[in-house]
Every structure is written in structure tokens, then in C-alpha cells.
Amino acid sequence: MSLLRVYDPTGYPPSITRKTPAPRPDSLDGRTVYLVDSRFDDSAKLLEQMQVWFARHMPSTTTKLVQMASYYGKDDPILWEEIKGANGVAILGVGHCSTCAPAVSTHAVTLETRYGVPAVAVHTDKFVKVVQSTVRMAGLPQAALVFVPQPVMGRTEAELAAYVNGLDPHTGRPVMREVMEALTAGLREPRAEELKYERNTARWLEPADEESLHALFLQNRWTDQLPIVLPTEERVAAMLAATRRKPDEVVGRLQPTPNRGLWEFTVEKVAINAVMAGAKPAYFPVILALAASGVTARGSTSSSAAAMVVVNGPIRAQIGMNCGVGAMGPYNHANATIGRAYGLLSQNLQGGSVPGETYMGSLGSNYTYNSITFAENEERSPWEPLHVQKGFEAQDSVVSVFTGCRSTTFSLGLREQHWREHVKDMLLGTDAITAPTLLLDPIVARQFVERGGFNTKQALIRWLHDTATMPAKRYWDLQLVQNYIYPRATFGDEPVASRLRAAPEQEIPIFVEKDINVIVLGGEANGYWQMMGAKHQASVNIDDWR
């Protein structure tokens, strides 16, 4: 049986810089214990129960429950300086989502290594592997991590008190004993293997027969669980011939979520994944531009987000992309394989996309198979195309990346009398933290012009912004708003900060106008259209990657 030599499809991991933890006090007597609320899904309520525990069991300590200055993903140096100046120690929590858990651990490492403050990060047990990886990549693999059961959100005081007074579901030891030991007894020494990460990913895999190689790719989770094309030297060379860029040129860096460590990759590594997806060399500049966007199609968010890819300009026709009938479906080779290549390169070049480890989407999303990849139907649109809106010239070939794609509503045309109310109902069905992107068949795009007088996309976008409103008391009570928008608003971020001054019954905008987008696609088989919660993240000039 003949043996094949194929390329390794994975990226280059970040190097680890070892950090030193803060010295520990012998006792917490007379010390201030800061309980730092990450402001995510009832985190403060669990920390309140820890405060009760300290009052009952350690009355000689002072506890101070504080909130971070913004949402959990932002650093808070003013608070860290306060804790340091008070000679305090810190308990941070709760990490109970795929992005807040790495953030909470990162803040704990920051306190330990930059401010000399002993710190403990509290998480729920669903995120054990996630935060262990985070602190390892941050250079402090022995950082104090304590776990409570999932969920925290919506639990009663009695249930949260039981968490605090109970056992860590990961270690089986009492939660508060672990906390106290971490703050006073010190941290263990890191193991040698925790501080070593091979920087040089192999270029080639060991030669093997075709069947064994397919099994290896599947076993190592280098596929999307569908069959792939093996990246042989000949196939990768053909892909590389489609760009003037050198094979060893660094294209970019990706990570599944912030604080997990940026992996680096080259043109050759992107070509390997493009071959695996079954893409033609002619598509490679588009795939390179996607790789250079810095946006992963395999984000780890527990909300199960996906990516959406929109291509504009002359390259649409040059490579035969579909912008008409069935554009968002599995009916076009370029659309399908470009989107699949984007997904494969994202997971393989960022260090993985493994459920429970580097992917935490609770439900998952079928959109991630090809990242909803299509071309805009510029020829049948009554407005300027998306890439021109984003500052490019009409003759440029551009790829745009959106993320979110969790909420979708759809309708048929615009009724003569009540279309405004119908559209508002759809807007209210879009998740409040991801502004709507309208995906309009040309028939409906023209109806918006004829019935609404929206002769430009911007006019339609302004109307959508002004129409998408709800009473302030309802808006601020939305869980996603509480998690991501309210923290920013309370510390002055505009335009949302001004909305805090609204009376409870006052109608306020749900979305920020600049985040709303309109795209025309479809083949005019009927006037169906969709509204999708999708945030524009980047637009990249494809011509730069030819």
C-alpha cells in the first residue's frame, strides 16, 4: 500500500512567559478581602454568600464587595490599585461563560503578577479546562482556581449559600477551605510540562496510507467531522500558486476567545486548510483575506455564535460565486468551500475548537459548517454595495466578516398598510446586543424604496434605528443588556450611557445606528427576506492577497 506525505494543518502556539505569584500573608486577620464582581449573570449574589461566610467564620476580616468598572472583558487598573493600596486580597468571580471565565482568570493573574495581590478566581465547573488553559498560557499555571456548580444565574440565596458551604465539584474539597488555603498557604510550584509549549509545529506528518491519514485527521479533530481532501505537496503547491505572497509569510493570529493566547500562522498553513476544504486555487485570495481578518469563525462563546461571510466586487464573477437563487445554501462550490475553509483554518490555526475545551457553545450552531458564505447581489440592488459603505471603491474585491448569527426572523415582502409595525416586531425579535443585518431579496429591497422612500441604505438604517425602541425598564431588564451594555453605560460609555437617564416608560433605541447593516442577495423567486442578529467585524481587501 502506497504511503502519502501530507502537511500538518495546525498553527504555531504562543510562547509562555513564566510569571511569579504574589507572596501570601500568614493570616487574613485584620486584612480586607475584596470580593470582585465580574458583573455577569448574578455573580454578585454568589459573592454575597461568600461575604456572609466571612462574617460568620472570620469576623476579624473586613470584606468589601465591589464591581468592576465595566463589563468583565475590560481591565480595571483603578480597582486593582485600590486593592493593592489597601494591602488587600481578592476573590474574583464568577466565571460562568466561555468569555467571562477566561477574563476572570486573567484578571486574577494580573493582580497576582503585576500588583502583588493574592487572588483567587471562582468559576463554575463547566469551565475547568477553559480556565486551566487560560492561566497556563498566561504564565501562571498554578493560579488559584476554585469551582462551584453550574448554574449560578437564577439560583436562590439558599442554593448559592449551599454552593459556598459545599464541596468544589472538580476537586471534592470544601470550597471555602480551598479559598483560604489559596490566599494564605500559597500556590504550588508549576510542573515543567505546564510551562513548555512547543513553538515549532511540524510542517509534515509521518507518511502513512490514505485511510490511516483520514483517521488521524479525524482523531486529532482537524476536520469538521466531514471528509476532507488530504493536503499533499502537489495540492498545496497548486493552492500557493494563486497568490504572490510567500509561503512562510505570516498572515495573522487567532484565538478562540480573548485571553486564551494568539496562535500564529503562515500563508502555507492557510493553503493547507484550503486544500482540506476542497477549495479551488482561484478561491485562495478570498480565503487568505478571511484568515487575515483576525476574526475566528470558531469563536468559543457559550452563546453558540457563528460567522457570516459576504463577498463584494469583481471577484464574485471571476470565481463564480452565487448571489442569486440559493445563495445562502449548499448550491455553489465557491460559496461552500470558501466558507468551509474559513471554518477549518479557524479551528486548526487557533489551537483547536473542541467542545468542553476550546469551544463552549452550549447549543452549537449548524451555521458553522460553512459560515453562511455568499456574495452580495450588487447588480440587482437599488443601493450601493456593502463594501462601498465600508469605505472601499466599487471596483475593489472585498470580503466582510460578521459574527453572532444567533437570532433570525423572516418575512414575506412589505404590506401596504402595516409594514412599519411588522418590521418593528421583527426588530424586537433580534437579540439586543447584536444589531440587525437585513438580508433582502432584490424584490424587497425595491419595496423599501417604493413604500418607505429609502433611496439609500443609510436612510433605511436610520429608520430601523429610530423604529427599534422599547420602554427603558424593559430594555434594562434584558439579561444580555445587563451583562454587556449596562456595565458600560454605568461608567459613561456613549451612546448607551445617556439612555440610563430615561424614565421607565420612555421608549429608547435598542441598537446603535452604526451597527445596523443591509445586504441584498437572492434571485427574486419571491419577496422573502431575513433579519439576522449579526455584527460586522471586519472588511478586508481581497486584491491585497492575490
Residue type, 539: S
**Half-sphere exposure (CA, 13 Å, Cβ side) for 457?**
24
- Please give the pLDDT value at position 200: 67
- Please give the pLDDT value at position 58: 95
CA neighbor of 341 nearest in space, from 230, 233, 245, 224:
224
120-168 per-position pLDDT tens digit: 999 999 999 999 999 999 999 999 999 999 999 999 999 999 999 999 9
- Please give the pLDDT value at position 375: 98
Query: Could you tell me the end-to-end alpha-carbon distance of the chain, in angstroms, rounded to an integer?
Result: 38
Cα separation of 42 and 39, whole Å? 7
CA–centroid distance for 355 within its chain: 14
Backbone angles phi, psi at 5, to 5 degrees: -110, 120
CA dihedral 389, 390, 391, 397 (to 10 degrees): -100
- Please give the pLDDT value at position 197: 60
CA neighbor of 501 nearest in space, from 528, 526, 529, 472:
472
Reply yes or no: is the peptide bond before residue 190 cis, omega within 30 of 0. no
Decide the pairing of beta strands 306-312 and 373-375.
parallel
- Domains detected in the chain: 32-193 (3.40.50.2300), 210-468+510-545 (no CATH)
What's the length of the chain? 546
- Please give the pLDDT value at position 465: 97
Which three cell numbers mark 416? 401596504
Which three cell numbers mark 387? 463594501
CA dihedral 365, 371, 377, 383 (to 10 degrees): 80
Query: For residues 125 and 150, is the Cβ–Cβ distance under 8 A?
Result: yes
CA neighbor of 43 nearest in space, from 91, 102, 107:
91
CA neighbor of 134 nearest in space, from 296, 258, 278:
258
Looking at the DSSP assignment, which residues form a beta bridge with residue 145? 121
What pTM, to 2 d.p., does this model score? Answer: 0.94
CA neighbor of 335 nearest in space, from 367, 373, 289, 376:
373
CA dihedral 5, 9, 15, 16 (to 10 degrees): -110
- Please give the pLDDT value at position 84: 97
Give the CA diameter of the chain. 76
Q: Which mean pLDDT values do the consecutive 10-residue runs of the chain (546 residues) have?
A: 93 90 94 95 95 96 94 93 97 94 96 97 96 93 96 95 97 97 90 70 93 97 97 98 98 93 96 98 98 96 95 98 96 98 98 92 93 98 97 98 95 94 95 94 97 96 97 94 89 90 95 96 96 97 98
- Please give the pLDDT value at position 461: 98
- Please give the pLDDT value at position 116: 97
The SS3 call for residue 377 is coil
- Determine whether 99 is exposed, middle or buried from the number of CB atoms within 10 Å of its CB (0-12, 13-18, 19+): buried
- Please give the pLDDT value at position 188: 87
* CB neighbour list of residue 523: distance below 8 Å, 6 or more residues apart: 324, 325, 326, 327, 377, 441
